[in-house]
Each structure stands twice: as structure tokens, then as C-alpha cells.
């Protein structure tokens, strides 16, 4: 079951797109949630929602997103409009103001900033941006822990790094001997 913060963030993001629900769609919603949690984790050491993410074809997806959307729909807080045509996006329409008591002002500012960035590019482009080394390393459906994002960008292997690795190897070999 999703946390109250996750549910609040999903509704908050949907509500932020209430004037133009066609700009969100499932891919952008999932990526806005992903990047909000990742950026919070990188800046503060904790995610906004505590939600788990799993690898899917179009990038990381919150494990509880479908259940949460269903719950928000059943509570009359959102409407989910299925696409009319093959390449149309699913639309999420906010029917009520979100309960944001569980979200701090910083959480909302971060989510809004991420949402603006995510909605500024195509769904395919934002999906591709999440296909990094961490996503590549995971199997379909496998959880992608947020701490793994700290190593999602490859760094330069300098002489200092090589020297450190050689000294660690020598230390391990000495202990094993």
C-alpha cells in the first residue's frame, strides 16, 4: 500500500496540470515522481515519498502507482481518461484540491520544478533520460533503489583512483593470505 505522502504527491502533480491535463500522461507522471524522489534523496538523503521504483520499458515506475491512481479515482479526487487514439496519452484530471498536509513547502516546490522540466520535453525524451547505467543494470520489474542513483553517472578513472584501487587490492590480498 502506498504511503500518504506518495498519494498526496501523485494528486498534487495531477492537480498542477489541471488546466492542461494532456501535457502530463502516464510517462511524464511517473518520471515527475521519480525525479522528485531522486532529487530529494540526493539533496537531503531521503526521498519525498518513501516509494519504491521498479524498472519498466519506459523507465523507472513507482511500484504503487496503479493502485494509488485507482484509489484517487475511487475517492472521486481524479478522473482517468483513457486515450482515444493509439499514440494519445492517458489523461489524469484533478476533480478536487489535493491534501498536501503531508508534503512540506520544499517538497511541493521541488515537485513543481521537476514537473515543469518533465513537461517541457516529449514523453519519449524524458523516458530515454531515465535509461541510465542504473536502469540498464536492473532486470525488468526489479526494484531500483534510490541509493543506486548516487552512482548513476560514470566518473573519470584518474591515476589517484587507480592507485587507491591497487592499494585496496593489495590490502585485501594481504588479509586473505
CA distances from 148 to 66, 67, 161 (A): 24, 25, 20
Across the chain, what does the average pLDDT equal? 90
What are the pLDDT digits (tens) for 78-103?
A: 999 887 887 778 899 999 999 999 99
pLDDT for residue 154: 65
pLDDT for residue 58: 93
What are the pLDDT digits (tens) for 156-167?
A: 778 887 888 888
Beta bridge partners of 79: 93
Does residue 34 surpass a pLDDT of 90?
A: yes
pLDDT for residue 22: 84
32 vs 86, higher pLDDT: 32
Cα(first)–Cα(last) distance of the chain, in Å? 49
User: Which three cell numbers mark 66?
Assistant: 496503479
Does residue 116 surpass a pLDDT of 80?
A: yes
Query: Considering only 36-40, 94-98, 99-103, 173-177, which range has the smallest mean pLDDT?
Result: 173-177
What are the pLDDT digits (tens) for 137-146?
A: 889 999 999 9
User: Which three cell numbers mark 13?
Assistant: 502533480
Does residue 169 surpass a pLDDT of 90?
A: no
pLDDT confidence band for 1 (50 / 70 / 90) = low
Does residue 153 surpass a pLDDT of 70?
A: no
For helices 4-16 and 25-44, the axis angle rounded to 10 degrees is 120
100 burial (CB, 10 Å; 0-12 / 13-18 / 19+) is middle
176 vs 6, higher pLDDT: 6
Does residue 74 surpass a pLDDT of 80?
A: yes
d(CA 82, CA 104): 32
Amino acid at each position: 500500500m502506498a504511503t500518504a505522502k506518495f498519494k498526496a504527491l501523485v494528486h498534487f502533480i495531477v492537480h498542477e496540470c489541471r488546466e492542461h491535463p494532456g501535457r502530463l500522461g502516464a510517462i511524464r507522471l511517473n518520471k515527475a515522481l521519480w525525479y522528485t524522489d531522486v532529487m530529494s534523496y540526493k539533496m537531503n538523503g531521503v526521498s519525498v515519498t518513501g516509494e519504491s521504483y521498479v524498472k519498466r520499458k519506459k523507465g523507472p515506475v513507482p511500484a504503487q502507482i496503479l493502485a494509488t491512481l485507482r484509489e484517487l479515482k475511487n475517492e472521486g479526487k481524479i478522473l482517468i481518461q483513457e486515450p482515444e487514439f493509439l499514440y494519445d496519452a492517458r489523461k489524469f484530471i484533478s476533480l478536487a484540491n489535493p491534501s498536501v498536509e503531508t508534503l512540506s513547502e520544499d517538497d511541493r516546490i521541488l515537485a513543481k520544478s521537476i514537473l515543469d522540466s518533465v513537461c517541457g520535453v516529449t514523453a519519449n525524451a524524458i523516458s530515454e533520460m531515465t535509461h541510465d547505467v542504473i536502469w540498464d543494470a536492473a532486470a525488468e520489474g526489479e526494484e531500483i533503489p534510490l541509493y543506486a542513483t548516487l552512482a548513476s553517472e560514470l566518473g573519470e578513472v584518474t591515476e589517484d583512483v587507480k592507485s587507491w584501487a591497487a592499494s585496496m587490492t593489495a590490502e585485501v590480498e594481504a588479509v586473505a593470505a
